[in-house]
Amino acid sequence: MKLEYLANEVLHDLFEYFDPIELIHAFEGLNTRFNRLLFIYFRSYRLDFRSISKSNFDLICKQYLPLIIDHVSSLCLSDGGETPQLYEHLTAYCLTIDEFTHLRSLLLQKIDSTNIILNITSDCFYLPYLTHLKIVECNFPNEKDPKQLIYNIWHLNNLTHCTLDMTFEWRLSFCGLSIISKSIEYLSIKDYIFSSLELTHLLTLTPYLRHLCITFGESIDIISQRILIAPYLTSLELHFGGSQSTLTNILKSMPNLLHLKLETGSIHLNGNQWKQILINYVPKIKIFRFLIRVLSLKDNHVEEYLEDLLSTFQTPFWMDDHQWYVRCDWPQHTNKIFVLYTLPYCFGDTYVVYQNRWSKTTCPNVRDCNCYDRVKDVFYKGRIDNFVLFAICYPKIRRLTLKLPFDVNFWTIIPRLDNLTSLEVIQTQENIRSESQLKELLNRAPRLDFLSVDAISFLLLAQLNITHVSLRRIQLKPYRSRTNRYLNAAQCSILARSLLGLQCEVLVIRIENRQIILDLIHTMYNLRALTFECQDDNSLVHSNDELVEWLRNSLPETYSVTRHRSRLVGIWINR
């Protein structure tokens, strides 16, 4: 069947799988029908500007956005190293967020400007279809009170999903706010610690909340502080630091809770005690997941104590009624801390793989429970000498952090790297074994996109003309020796002319002198973003940014040169 025979509805479904620029490049101008489909009828363009090249960004802003701006349903903006000062470049084309009139989802990432964040969220007032807002890895400097940000967000009448994963230099407080959101149902706030009082105010401002993800911390047990009832709340993710009575107060306020995910190191209860809390305060609970780090005060008979603890999670309530299975690990590197968690393991932060001196589970099918296929981010910390105590594997990880060389059990614990996209080597011993293992990691990771490794290890790969089908982002760490942190011109030439260097699109590096930057950009013809620290950078001595000015004078005007931090400079390259 020919493509043009397909119905418009089928073509619309196909269009959603295309990158917008590739879609328009492929079908624009073929005939009148496809032009009408692209620019009139298709209304689900998803624009992700977080890793776009400068040339493609300019192209879409000049030629395509004026035609499709009211057809964009999803937009992602970032001021990170790959797209520095993106928002300023967008507004330079006289484009503002309020012009995306049919926008349903907006993501802001790595933006460290109060004014930009406030301007964007103010523009959202004019977006009647906006239902999802995420602000992640952003910093809100102390120039203005963060209450203005909350005010802007809470005024979005149709917003249902909101994520605030950002740092506030000026303490955020919900006390004193009176603006109530009747639309927000799903709310996640990270990097902010709630008290009972703050949580009560938050629930007052979001009366129809269904899902909540927060961090709670209260050093003083305030028994008299009642928390407002949240009748619609059915799902809670809680990183908790407080007392048992405070936790029960929180659960009392959520009588219709169905899903509870808890991470804590401040309370220690056995299975029978947890059973009573759940029955008494959240009787409708269907799913309970927890990760508890416990400090044991016992010096003797620890294994006997752990056996007794685990047995309280083997009652009919846990094993039959709910099929909630638990594992308890006693890490080798500590005498008094053990970890208790439910299976399957489902906590999103980095999972640290370490040697256990004792580990048991209540799961009847040990093989199934030993497969941690939901873990995506792993830090392989050290040697696993006794695999009998660590018969666990992680088959679907996407991000891996480790030291080289690793031990003989590594490939049993992490049997496949088919889904791996990010590899960070934090320490390398200079020997043949480390070099061989690094090459094997690359060979076994066909989807690897990002590699962070020390410069010398990478140069060894470059000199061997190692290839990789998907590796596009490279971060070169300082030398193993602190006395020489910067790559010289000869070393950078090896990097730039290697097969990995020629296909590299994003590079983070430390170099001896500024002329090397021009050479890298000239030779690495696929490079679109370069972040570097330069040894001859005199910006700390001079009041004006002499290095940035030199680069702007040496590079085409279409390139964007900005200083990220005190020593880091970023270039957004326009080919």
What pLDDT, in 10s, does the model give residues 40-80?
767 789 999 999 999 999 999 999 999 899 999 999 999 99
Average pLDDT value for residue range 155-178:
92
Helix (H) or strand (E) holding 571: strand 568-572
Do the Cβ atoms of 547 and 569 come closer than 8 Å? Answer: yes
Do the Cβ atoms of 49 and 86 come closer than 8 Å? Answer: yes
Residue 528 CA to residue 502 CA, distance in Å, equals 12
- Asked whether residue 498 is domain-assigned, the answer is yes
Lateral strand order in the sheet of 351-353: 351-353, 377-380, 399-404, 422-428, 450-454, 473-477, 506-511, 529-534, 568-572, 560-563
Q: What is the pLDDT of residue 219?
A: 67
Q: What is the pLDDT of residue 302?
A: 81
Residue 239 CA to residue 182 CA, distance in Å, equals 25
Average pLDDT value for residue range 214-232:
80
DSSP 449: -
Looking up residue 461, the CATH number of its domain turns out to be: 3.80.10
Q: What is the pLDDT of residue 479?
A: 62
Q: What is the pLDDT of residue 409?
A: 82
* Structural domains in the chain (count): 2
Q: Provide the domain limits for residue 34.
A: 1-42
Q: At what angle do helices 147-154 and 114-123 cross, to 10 degrees?
A: 20
Q: What is the pLDDT of residue 50?
A: 95
pLDDT per residue as tens digits for the range 269-325: 999 999 999 999 999 999 999 999 887 766 677 888 889 999 999 999 999 999 999
Where would I find the beta strands (DSSP E) of 408-554?
Answer: 422-428, 450-454, 473-477, 506-511, 529-534
- 408 is written with which tokens? 């003989």
Q: What is the pLDDT of residue 383?
A: 63
Q: What is the pLDDT of residue 56?
A: 93
Whether the pLDDT of residue 35 is over 90: the answer is no
Q: What is the pLDDT of residue 6?
A: 74
Residue 185: which pLDDT band, with cuts at 50, 70 and 90?
very high
Q: What is the pLDDT of residue 136?
A: 97
SS3 assignment, position 550: helix
pLDDT per residue as tens digits for the range 500-515: 999 999 999 999 999 9
- Asked whether residue 229 is domain-assigned, the answer is no
Please state, for a pLDDT cut of 70, what percent of the chain lies above it. Answer: 92
- Asked whether residue 495 is domain-assigned, the answer is yes
* H helices present in 52-113, as ranges: 54-59, 65-68, 86-92
Query: What would the DSSP string read from start to end of 219-283?
Result: SS--TT-PPPP-TT--EEEEEEES-HHHHHHHHHT-TT--EEEEEESS----HHHHHHHHHHH-T
Whether the pLDDT of residue 220 is over 70: the answer is no
- Asked whether residue 458 is domain-assigned, the answer is yes
Any idea which of 367-371, 483-487, 533-537 has the lowest mean pLDDT? Answer: 367-371
Gyration radius (Cα) of the chain, Å? 27
Any idea which of 28-37, 81-90, 168-177, 379-388 has the lowest mean pLDDT? Answer: 379-388
Do the Cβ atoms of 413 and 390 come closer than 8 Å? Answer: yes
Average pLDDT value for residue range 490-498:
96
- 226 is written with which tokens? 């009642």
The CA-based diameter of the chain, rounded to the nearest angstrom, is 81
Residue 57 CA to residue 62 CA, distance in Å, equals 9
**Neighbour count for residue 108 (Cβ, 10 Å):** 23
- 144 is written with which tokens? 């203005």
pLDDT per residue as tens digits for the range 392-434: 778 889 999 999 998 888 888 888 999 999 999 998 887 788 8
Q: What is the pLDDT of residue 369?
A: 65
Sign of CA dihedral 139, 143, 147, 149: negative
Average pLDDT value for residue range 358-375:
78
pLDDT per residue as tens digits for the range 324-342: 999 998 877 677 788 899 9
Whether the pLDDT of residue 124 is over 90: the answer is yes
- pTM of the shown model: 0.91
- Asked whether residue 118 is domain-assigned, the answer is no
Whether the pLDDT of residue 377 is over 60: the answer is yes
- Asked whether residue 363 is domain-assigned, the answer is no
Residue 35 CA to residue 23 CA, distance in Å, equals 11
- Asked whether residue 462 is domain-assigned, the answer is yes
Sign of CA dihedral 264, 267, 270, 276: negative
- Asked whether residue 241 is domain-assigned, the answer is no
Across the chain, what does the average pLDDT equal?
89
- Half-sphere CA count of 374, side-chain side, radius 13 A: 11
Q: What is the pLDDT of residue 8?
A: 76
Q: What is the pLDDT of residue 101?
A: 96
Q: What is the pLDDT of residue 499?
A: 96
Please state, for a pLDDT cut of 90, what percent of the chain lies above it. Answer: 62
Non-local CB neighbours of 411 within 8 Å, separated by 6+ positions: none
**Cα–Cα separations (whole angstroms), residue 546 to 293, 438, 514:** 50, 39, 11
Q: What is the pLDDT of residue 141?
A: 83
